[in-house]
Amino acid sequence: MELYNYIKSLHLIFVITWFAGLFYIVRLFVYQIEANDKPSPEKEILQKQYKIMAYRLWYIITWPSAFLAVFFAIWLLLIMPVWLQMPWMQIKLVFVVLLIAYQIKCHLIYKELQNDIFKHSSNFMRLWNEGATIILFAVVFLVILKNAFNWIYGVIGIVLFSVLIMLGFKFYKRIREKNKS
């Protein structure tokens, strides 16, 4: 049981650093996209700095954290294989797959920005950043509430949370636009 607690602790630590990396990389995408609209030489100076910051965050923190979180999760499942039969764990694993897909999409965006290809607006990136937040909320509630989780209320809660995020995004966008003028 002591080994289980160490493995669980390591899993949790790397999940936290993984999410921190995902949250911050998308913020760097926002800054990098906005820097592209700046005049020279500010544009070049900012772009160079953001590329360095993104590279270090992505390859030193985010990807290693993702691999280690998954590694320790697999180890936990090997210690407690009965979890795979539990509905909450099965749904959690669906969200983990979504998180991995989210990270892969972030990686594609990262590569584009590192090559000065700007396909998305900063507003899109601000909205995209909420994807990891929604996954985080879903996973935390699944893990904490387990079988006591009422799926109808859970789905309604995630939808309402998503709507609140969208409204907050629109409100923030209006404030930013007012401050620009």
pLDDT in tens, the chain (181 residues): 799 999 999 999 999 999 999 999 999 999 999 999 999 999 999 999 999 999 999 999 999 999 999 999 999 999 999 999 998 899 899 999 999 999 999 999 999 999 999 999 998 998 899 889 888 988 888 888 876 556 667 767 777 887 888 788 788 878 878 887 6
What is the tally of structural domains in the chain? 1
Q: Which two tokens stand for residue 49?
A: 């700095």
Is residue 136 within 8 Å of 41, Cβ to Cβ? no
Whether 119 has a binding-site annotation, put simply, is no
* C-alpha to C-alpha distances, 153 to 14, 129, 157, nearest whole angstrom: 29, 24, 6
What does the CA dihedral 21, 116, 123, 163 come to, rounded to 10 degrees? -50
Identify the domain containing residue 106 by its residue range.
Answer: 2-180
Whether 43 has a binding-site annotation, put simply, is no
Which pTM does this prediction carry?
Answer: 0.85
